[in-house]
Structures are given as C-alpha cells and as structure tokens.
Chains A and B, each alone.
Chain A
Amino acid sequence: MKRLAMIAATSAAALTASPLHAEPLKIGIIESLSGAQTSTGRLYANAVKYGVDRINEAGGFNGEPVVVTEYDNAGGAPDAADKFRNAVADGVDIIFQGASSAIAGQLTEDVRKHNLRNPGDEVIFINLGGEAMELTGEKCQFYHFRYTTTAPMRVNALVGAMKESGDLGTKVYSINQNYSWGQDMQAAAAAAAADGGYTVVDEVLHDVNKIQDFAPFVARISSAAPDTVFTGNWSNDLLLLMKAAGDAGLDVTFATAFLDQPGNIANAGKTAIGHYIANNYDNAATDGKFAEDYKTATGHYPIFVEGHSAFALGALQQALGTVDFGGGDIDVTKIALALENTTYETPLGPVSVRKEDHQTIRPVVVSKVVENPKYPADETNMGFETVKVIAGEDAIYPVQDSCKMERPAE
C-alpha cells in the first residue's frame, strides 16, 4: 500500500507541519508497468532503482535517503499525464521515463507547463529512451535531459562501423515504422548515404505494431536486392521482419537499433546471426566490472536499456555531489545546472550534457550477433560481439535549429 502510506504520511506531515527531517530528494519513475510495453518499462524501472540504491549506499542526498516511487502509465500518454500530476502531488523532484517517445513528449510538455506555473517548485525530467528528434528540437527545454542516443547517432555509428568491417555494401534498403522515430531513422539513413558510399534503393514506412505478416514487405525488399537493410523497428515489428526475411532466405545484413530487446535473439534464432546493432551500451564492450556489480545487486547482467539507464543515475549522483542544500529546501534548478556541468565516466567513455539542447554527448557501441559470445542473450548460445565503440564527439550531430531553449535566470 505504498500510495496509501504516502498519502497518510503527507497528510500527517501537513497536520503536524514540524520540520523534523530534512527534505529528501524524491524521484518518480513514470513507466509502462502494465500494457503492451511492460517488458521494456520494467527494465527502465529496474535500472533507476539500481542507481538510486547506489546513491543511498553512498549516504543519500541532503542528509536523507533518496526516495523513489514507481508510477504506472499503462503505456499511454494520457495516463502518463495523470500520473505526472500524482507525482507532483507527492512532491517528486526528478522524473525518469524511457519506454516510448510519445510518452516522453507528453511528459516534457507537462514538465514545461508545470515549471511555468510553479516557479520555485520545478521538476526535472530525465529522458532515458525517448529518441524522437523533436524532444531536443521543437520541444527542447531546460528541464529536459536526454540520456540516450537519437536516430542519426545510431545510424552514423552503424554506417561507420559496417563500412570498416566491409559488411555495408553499396545498396541500402530502409524499412521503418511510420511515426517520428521511424521517420527519423529513414532520414538519417538517407543523410548518411554520401559518407557511407551507398545508395538507398528503396524506403518504406509501415504501421506501428499492427502488421501480422511481413512476408509482403520482405518480397518488396527482395525485389530491390539490397546488401543492407536499415531498420529502427522494435518489438514485434523487428522480430516479425527478421523472421520473415529469414524464412524467405533473404541474404541481407540487418542494421538495427533494438535487436537486443529481450526475447528477440531467442525468437529469431539462427536468423539473427551476423546482423548489426548500434546501441548505448553492451556488456561485451566493457571490462565487465560494471556488469558484475549490477549482477551482484540485481541478480542478472544488465540487459537492453538497463546499462545506459544506470549510467544516467550515475551522472545524477555525480551532479548531486556538487550541490549542497545543507538539509534545507531542495532547489531543483540548481540540480539541473549541476547536471549540465557533469561529465560522467561510463565504462565506454565519458557522457556529458550539451548545454544548447540537453542532448547527451555519449559513446555508441556497434555490435554484431555471433555464436558463443562472452555474454549470451536470452539463455541461447548467441549474443553480441563488439565491432566498434564510437566516441561521443564522433557520434554527436549538430544542434537542431528548431531548439530555442529558455534558460533560468542565474
């Protein structure tokens, strides 16, 4: 009865109104903990909790342990808006969310409006997985931080690494989901054509997670005879596409963004071997120390989005170390400013915030599915082998013109 307890606690606090304790830093995870994207939402929540535990082990913040509460947005933007208000009512200072750009878009707008209406009582939104360009473009704002990659970062990394290893070829097909993320991927694949020395032979956008049968799409890909297929597809759309391609005996290399989603490798089976992924983090690309730590704490190696999400908390921990409210009121704006100036060393390289649009400059790992890797995926004998780690400054793209960030008065 976490919520009931919290309500009781806040009412009791309101009644007595005696500052017995210092104000604890409150973190809210607004994730898809039920509904179709539960599996991904759960992983983000795991990683955030892992990170908060590390902060609390090191003594918490402001003289109190950091409090973390989960809010289930049921995978929908309207529910997320509702849960955001509950979080505000509970006094949350920092919000974390990852699964779905649409929800990230909703939350960043909610945060913007809340901060406009409640100066002095701001909320920070740390975006762990919303990769839509507009979040650091049209919708960019001071209190939003994106601790993940975007389409151009992933595509450029893929193009660079695959070209080096000779797997890219000269003919590229791009198939993506018809919404902002898919469109971003398609645009990025087209933009990288000159650098990669390839031509985009055909591109197609399709409905998101509604297609049952990908055989017709594979037939269309097959008739264009590409060497490499770029796709930002995730979940069922990626799995079905790869299975259909495997069944049709299509001889192409897939360059993907979400191949490491749990269940994908097991479900795709041998079909998956040789395909590429560009990602924020991969265990195989590190010395394994963080992976072991994570396993000791949670019982498993970090998978999918857990690694880079935990690093976002690491960055936050480092930033919190530079501010001190002496046990008094927490000024969220100061934390945001500290976060801007934080460069966090991850096992893959430094992650820092670009002040103009609050996109993080971060390394990207390109890996390939092989048999008998160091860290097998989904309890199969397959997994990812690192092809190349692209440093943050090489992976980053220019600030979008559409970003007009208003900074707080200092």
Chain B
Amino acid sequence: MMTMRNLLLLAVALALLVIVPPFLGLGWQNMLVNVLIASLFALAFNLLIGQAGLLSFGHAAYFGVGAFAALHLMRAIEGGLPFPTPLVPLAGAAAGLLIGLIAGYFATMRSGVYFALVTLAIAELFHSLAPQLEGVFGGESGISSMRMPWNGIVFGSMLEVYYLTLAWVLVCGLALWAYTRTPFGRLTLALRDNEQRVRFLGYSAHTAKVIIFTVSAMLTAVAGSLQAISIETANYSLFASNVSAQVVLQTFVGGSTVFFGPVIGATAFTLFSFLVSDLTRSWVFYQGLIFVLVMLYVPTGIGGVIQHHIHNRRQLDWRNMAGHYVLAFVGALLLTAGVVFLTETVAVLFGEDYAMVRHNAEGGLPPFELFGASWNPTGLLTWLLPIVLLIGGGALLIRARRRISTIWDRKGPSNATATEPLLAGGAK
C-alpha cells in the first residue's frame, strides 16, 4: 500500500540521492555506485527467493553475462556503432533474458535444495569455461572498453556514472515493485506458499517458475552491465562463487520477506566493506558470523525487524521500551567488541608475522601490537578483557531481550496477522 507518507519518504530519499553526491569525495561516490548496483542485484535475486521461494546459489552467472554483454556493446560503440551509451544495459538485459531462459529451464526442473545445487553448478560451468573462450570472455584477463561520450555527456567522471546508475536502478527497482502488484506477481507468491494449489488452479508451475527465473536473471544482468559501465572491464572472476555468495548474504541479512530488505543488506555490506575490508584480514569471517547470527536469531533480517516495529508502532509502549533497547544495543556493542578483540588476538598469535617474531625470540611469547596498544600473550588482561566484554555484553543483551519480549507479549496478539513476519528479538 502506497500511503501518502510512504510516498513522501520515498521522495525525500530520492531527493537526497540526487542532491548529495556532487558534494561527496570520489571514494564515496564510487561507494554509492557500488551500493546501487549491489541493491539492484539483491532485489533481482530476491525476486526468486522472496517471491517464488527458489534459492539460487549461482546468480553470479547472470551478473557476469550482463557485464560481458554490455562490454561487447561498449566495444562496438567504441568502434563506431551509433548507439547511445546510457542504453548499454539493454544489451545486458537481452543477454540475461536469453541465458536466464535456458538456465532457468534446467534449474526449475527441480525445486528446493536441488534447485540450489543446480544453479550453483551452472555458475561453476560458466566459471570454468569462460577463461577458455577467448572470443567471448577474453581469456583470464577479460575484455575491456571505454565509455564513449553521448550527446555531450562524456561519462568520464564518477558523478556521471553515478547518475546513470541511479536512473537505471530506480527504473528497475520500480518495475520490480510494480511487478509484485500484478496478478502474475501474486501467482508467484502462491508458488512459494503452495505450489500444488497453483497447479490445481490450472497453471503450469514449471512455466511460471521459468518466467520468474528469467525476469530475475534479466534484472541481475542489468546490474552486471551497470558494473561493466562503471569499471569498464569484465573478466571470468565475475562468475566466481563468492559473487553468488555475497548476494545471498546481503539479501538475507537485509531481510528477504520485505521488499526493501535486500537494499538494506546490500547497503550495509557495501558500506561496511568500504570502511573495514582493508583493515582486517578476518573481514570475511565477520561477514559469515553476522550472517549465521541473523539466520539464528533474526530470520526475517534487518528489514523484517524494522517492518515489524513499524506495523506495531501504535500498540507499543515506546517510552517503556526505549531504555531496554538502549541497553540491548550497548550489550550488542560490548559483545561485538569482545568477539572482534578475541578474533584479532587469535589472528595475530597464529599469524605468520608472529610466528617469525616467536622464531626470533627463541620460543618465548613476546608481546604483540593490537589496536594501538601492546599486549602480553600470557598476560591476564589480554584474555580477561574479551571474556569480560563477552560475558558482560551477553548478560546485558539477554536481560534486555527478555524485558523487550515481555513488553511485546503484553501488547497481545491482537494485531498479529498470519502474513506478518516473526518477531526479530524473538519472543521464543
């Protein structure tokens, strides 16, 4: 339901996206482009899992196909083809449509975990064949091109790329949102919830799944071509399993049951990676940890939690709860600090650099540097600090959570409908 207020919110967000970037540095502009591309990728991916209940582990295939198709078109433009540069993603869309149709036909022959495995294998097929097909994928170094000017726009600066990306992501996002409102969009939801009923209604479940798969692949390919436009090259590593894994992580941490959930996840991960990926070698470990914790305790993701709170905002005793939420937040912060400290300590102690230091110290355990201080590996404080942080933070969090769920319970089930996602903090 598009209420007046939602519309207003959207308009404000849009205005910010248009007005703010020129005032940002190059690094931040680049980061925003990445956020937009990741958001579209996650939204397209979520069409499959959130709408049709199909979990794909190989969406890198369509992302890559889109990127390569766009690059081939860009090279043609470079060679003199009169084609407007801003419409290059159309090539990606076409390629994604075609490949998605073929791959979707195979993959949707099976459902559930089989589907996940088949999509994974299709992506691997691309990953292993691509470096060998020089003509199409340009070997292991890939193919590259340059954005050509169009109608006086040079597309040389990051800002121009940003606005182009923004336009495409908005159009595709809007189309996806509109799609969920169409009768066919409703039908796909039924596919997720009760496939048998769809079949009894006289629809071919397989055909419907192939169509959704194709649409998802097509929009994923658009995201891929936007990346191609932005970085002007593509190579076979776009098909790698970690590309597929990233979109899964982002979508589910953001929340796959809410339309904007994937955008939240994509934004959070891209921002996080921009800020910390060069700082710690355990960055992927933290990502995995966040994902598992979300799966265990917040299965509806960040988006689900937010939506749940918004839906129930009138029934809740906010004044009473605010304190507990602050407490929970502090607890989580302490817990995070404990985990990070422990991980980084272990990473240092077992690292190659420290092994060298130890080797030179003839078997002793010399102190090490971490977070701008020196720590003694056998010192009490080195181990007591993370333990205190973990226990203190954990106790705080559990206590606050219990209080919060009591308050939620008191609110009563009056408002809870069947379609509503489960409570995040988890009453159970």
Contact = CB atoms under 8 A, between A and B. Distances in A.
Contacts of B284: 34
B27 interface: yes
Interface in A22-58: 33-35, 38, 42
Contacts of B278: 2-3, 33, 69-72, 83
Interface in A71-88: 71-72, 74-78, 81-83, 85-86, 88
A407 interface: no
Interface stretch (A99-107, A213-221, A227-235): A99-107
B276 A3 contact: yes
A255 to B, nearest CB: 23
A102 B356 contact: no
Nearest to A91: B26
Contact of B142 (A69, A70, A105, A299): A105
Interface in B335-363: 352-353, 356-357, 359-360
Q: A38, A78, A210: which has the most chain B beta carbons within 10 Å?
A: A78
For B235, B281, B283, which residue has the most chain A Cβ atoms within 10 angstroms? Answer: B235
B139 A4 contact: no
B238 A90 contact: no
A178 interface: yes
Interface string A181-215: 00000000000000000000000000110100000
B25 A180 contact: no
B275 interface: yes
A299 B25 contact: no
A82 B233 contact: no
State the main secondary structure of chain A at its contact with B. helix
Interface string B261-287: 000000000000011111101011000
A374 interface: no
B146 interface: yes
Contacts of A89: 25-28, 30
Q: Which A-B residue pairs are the 8 nearest by beta carbons?
A: A89-B27, A105-B141, A299-B356, A89-B26, A81-B231, A179-B140, A76-B237, A77-B235
Interface of A: 1-4, 7, 10-11, 14, 33-35, 38, 42, 69-72, 74-78, 81-83, 85-86, 88-90, 101-102, 105-106, 109-110, 113, 116-117, 132, 134, 178-180, 207-208, 210, 298-300
Interface of B: 25-28, 30, 34, 128, 131-132, 139-142, 144, 146, 156, 158, 227, 231-235, 237-238, 240, 242, 274-279, 281, 283-284, 352-353, 356-357, 359-360
15 contacts: A1-B279, A3-B275, A7-B25, A69-B278, A76-B240, A76-B242, A78-B234, A78-B238, A89-B26, A102-B235, A105-B235, A109-B232, A110-B231, A110-B232, A180-B140
Given A86-B27, A101-B141, A300-B359, 18 more contacts: A3-B278, A7-B25, A38-B281, A69-B278, A74-B242, A74-B277, A76-B242, A77-B141, A77-B233, A81-B232, A89-B30, A102-B142, A102-B237, A110-B232, A117-B156, A179-B140, A180-B140, A299-B353
